[in-house]
A and B are shown apart, each in its own frame.
Chain A
Amino acid sequence: GAVVSQHPSWVICKSGTSVKIECRSLDFQATTMFWYRQFPKQSLMLMATSNEGSKATYEQGVEKDKFLINHASLTLSTLTVTSAHPEDSSFYICSARIQSAYYGYTFGSGTRLTVV
């Protein structure tokens, strides 16, 4: 149980275009989801916390106008990379908090974004 599905698994887009990445909780409701990005040979960096029905909370240094997050339902959060540039090429990973007795966190399989 507690599976998070992320789509697409990889995407290639042209500079200047926007790309949307979806994160779905398949068998549970996720009021809170998280978005990370990871550059090659580096650790995961938390970008933002996505809360259902309210605005996302962005980490320091992350441009909220460039990385648009929408969490309109209890099972879906989306990350849109607007006006993508080659430096936005990265591995984007979502996570959902499982509201059980101990608050676990489950991760999606990630999206490889390449901007050309």
Chain B
Amino acid sequence: DAKTTQPTSMDCAEGRAANLPCNHSTISGNEYVYWYRQIHSQGPQYIIHGLKNNETNEMASLIITEDRKSSTLILPHATLRDTAVYYCIVRIGSGNTGKLIFGQGTTLQVKP
């Protein structure tokens, strides 16, 4: 099963872009990368996911390297409300059998 490695914590200035890296060097060709975040004592919130192409939505951008061994989540203009634990997850299994196994995540602190 592909594991992910993320820095334990990061700081970011309010209004600046937050770039959160993730290593997943053992990822298989058909495994998706998902990003979720969790604000204290709440359920995880979906951010974005991708397979091999870069993805963008209203919350963030996901940049996946060509060899798919790492990715970066970009929050373009971080706000104080973006302070949370960010999880990079490689989905285990595919389709109907897929499941999400969480790693330790990165605690992002957005500072004024």
Contact = CB atoms under 8 A, between A and B. Distances in A.
Interface of A is mostly: strand
Contacts of B34: 105
Main secondary structure, interface of B, reads loop
B105 A106 contact: no
Contacts of A97: 96, 98
Contacts of B38: 44
Interface in A24-45: 31-32, 34, 36, 43-45
Nearest to B50: A102
Contact of B44 (A6, A44, A102): A44
B80 interface: no
Contacts of B44: 44, 93, 95, 107
B100 A103 contact: no
Interface of B: 32, 34, 36, 38, 41-46, 49, 87, 91, 95-96, 98-105
30 contacts: A4-B43, A6-B43, A32-B96, A36-B102, A43-B87, A43-B103, A43-B104, A44-B44, A44-B87, A44-B102, A45-B102, A46-B100, A46-B102, A49-B99, A91-B41, A95-B43, A97-B98, A102-B49, A104-B46, A104-B49, A105-B34, A105-B100, A106-B46, A107-B43, A107-B44, A107-B45, A107-B46, A109-B42, A109-B43, A112-B41
